[in-house]
Amino acid sequence: MRRKELCILLTFSTTTEAMAMEAHASAHGLPGRLIPVPTVIHAGCGVCWKAPIAEKPRILAAMEKEQLPYEGFFELVI
């Protein structure tokens, strides 16, 4: 069983937006991965980007710099 920890989740309106985040993260060495949206969150496309809480400034800076769209931002223990 995986240990639960505080992380950031970015939700997206469309699967295309989620895939753009995944491609950008892979190309630029950003940590995280796509996961199904937890049931406590409602999001448009059903997947979200999960990353360690320590990477919050780096992830949000990349999203802003590259103008990558996202629907919501959450800090959750999952």
Contact 64, 26 (CB under 8 A): no
pLDDT of res. 2: 81
The residues, any chain, with a CB within 8 Å of residue 60's CB and separated by 6 or more, are 73
Query: 25 is written with which tokens?
Result: 């993260």
Going along the chain from its start, the domains and CATH numbers come out as 6-77 (3.30.70)
> pLDDT (tens digit, 9 = 90+) per residue, 39-75?
989 878 999 999 999 999 999 999 999 999 999 999 9
Q: What percent of the chain has pLDDT over 70?
A: 100
Confidence of residue 1 (pLDDT cuts 50, 70, 90): confident
| DSSP character string of the chain | -PPP-EEEEEE-SSHHHHHHHHHHHHHHT---EEEEPPTTS--SSSEEEEEEGGGHHHHHHHHHHTT---SEEEEEE-
Q: Considering the chain, what is the average pLDDT of its residues?
A: 94
Global pTM?
Answer: 0.92
